[in-house]
Amino acid sequence: MTTRDIIIVSMFAAACLMVPMCNIHPDRIIKTTTFRSGMSSVAVILGIVTMGSTVVNAHLPEIKEFAGSLLHSYPMLLSLVLFGTCTLLMSQGATTPLIVPLALSLNVPHWAILASFVAVTGVFVLPTYPTSLAAIEFDSTGSTRMGKNIFDHPFMLPGLTGVIVAIGFGFLLAPAVL
């Protein structure tokens, strides 16, 4: 078994032992906001994110080719390429090893890579990220909710503002650092 599998089995075993040992009523568990948000996240991870990852992985060569041609023509658009790729891949860890070596091979200046790196935080754009969905579920006041459109959610404006400001400061400060 892998470490991940051992952790999952251990967590399930601990949960199964806690129910009888702590005199927990299972029918009350499913009514808690923590359980509901956790199950919503599981449904999102197993459903929407898996579907999105499958579609993106099927088109990864085209994404890489498009990003490469865009960076070759306009190397200063690296932040947009990083942000867009992260939005599609829904992972900073998958975006960085895909795009940064590509940028280096296309001779994008090192300071521009450093200044643009904050753009790998584009996971909030699509309202399918489990952390965002869990935050909405945890809000017992009901003030945090999804809008009617795909890009109409409570994390869009603060997220975009933070990324734009950070990239702006990055482009001001990075040339001086490197």
pLDDT tens digits, the chain, 178 residues: what are they? Answer: 889 889 989 999 998 999 899 988 888 888 887 787 777 767 766 666 667 667 777 887 887 788 878 887 887 789 998 998 888 877 788 888 888 888 888 888 889 899 999 999 888 887 766 677 677 767 767 666 666 666 667 778 888 999 999 999 999 998 888 7
Alpha helices in 22-152 (DSSP H): 26-29, 33-44, 50-58, 60-73, 78-89, 92-105, 110-116, 130-138
pTM: 0.66
